[in-house]
Amino acid sequence: MNRPLGEITRGTTNPNRLRRVDRWIAYRLGPALSAVESPLVVDLGYGATPITAVELAYRLARFRPRVVGLEIDPVRVAQAQPAADPPRLEFRRGGFELAGLRPQVVRAFNVLRQYDESAVLAAWRTMTGSLADGGWLVEGTCDELGRLATWATLPADAQTPVSLTLAARLSTLESPATFAERLPKALIHRNVPGEPVHELLRALDGCWQRSAPMGVFGPRQRWVRTVEEFRALGYAVLDGPVRWRMGELTLPWPA
């Protein structure tokens, strides 16, 4: 096997850290998973422990997937083997080339965050070019406890995402401005005046501040009112109140 594409990253992980994106994958990409018997799902860069891959297999169990955790560090691959449960869950060495696999879904979290911004486009291109027909790449980042997360979603063979999702534990969300700290690598350095993502977060934060009176009914109601007002400003929103109440907001990437 050729040397995997990529570099060894810090590998920090925590149990339940990726619950928000896993929940969204089951909802949004469920049709792609259901269209295939025993779909292949890759957890790219699972880190120092295999817990995120184990949790992914559990959360997608209704689709009966074959989950493969890929790590570029052979030591981490060896250490993960006791958690393997073939063919339901396996661990292999691999990088952005996906170890020659053709998955329906790739989840790559907190990986590109540790690379230079200049490496993002090539990594996206490599991963989406390795997807099965109709496959999806979900690439993003989250905080250490999974309370705040953002991710971009790209279809097979694409070089540009189709959507951006912001997700938070609403009970601890101080302000939508904090999403800036966890934007995908492609956007985090663009959060400056004059860039669309900066204006988007500024508008969303303004809606949050104006929705403060709804806070007496709880953070979910405040967030729902925030998104309603945000949409009224003319921003396209790709989901509805059911997802908003979970602390999610999905937007078309061009926004």
In a domain, 13, yes or no: no
The pLDDT of residue 244 is 98
Q: Does 24 map to a domain?
A: yes
> Dihedral of the CA atoms 245, 199, 138, 48 (nearest 10)?
-90
The CB density around residue 206, as the number of other CB atoms within 10 Å, is 16
Task: Report the distance separating Cα 247 and Cα 115, nearest Å.
Answer: 28
Domain-located, residue 211: yes
Do residue 174 and residue 103 come from a single domain?
A: no
Same domain assignment for residues 119 and 240 = no
215 in the same domain as 138? no
Enclosing domain of residue 107: 19-161
> Where would I find the H helices in 41-173?
51-59, 74-80, 120-128
Predicted pLDDT at 246: 97
Query: Do 184 and 129 share a structural domain?
Result: no
Name the residue among 109, 129, 127, 123 with its Cα closest to residue 56. 109
Number of domains in the chain: 2
Successive 10-residue mean pLDDT values, the chain, 255 residues: 75 88 97 96 96 97 98 96 97 97 97 92 97 97 96 96 98 96 95 96 98 97 98 97 97 95
Domain membership of residue 222 (yes or no) is: yes
What sections of 17-167 are H helices per DSSP? 19-28, 30-34, 51-59, 74-80, 120-128
Q: pLDDT value at position 78?
A: 97
Look at strands 89-93 and 148-155 and give their pairing: unpaired
- Does residue 128 sit within a domain? yes
Contact 68, 90 (CB under 8 A): yes
User: Quick one: 134 and 57 in the same domain?
Assistant: yes
Diameter of the chain measured on Cα atoms: 59
CA–CA distance, 220 with 173 (Å, rounded to integer)? 10
Q: Are residues 49 and 92 in the same domain?
A: yes
**Dihedral sign from CA coordinates of 56, 97, 99, 12:** negative
Is residue 96 domain-shared with residue 218, that is, in the same domain?
Answer: no
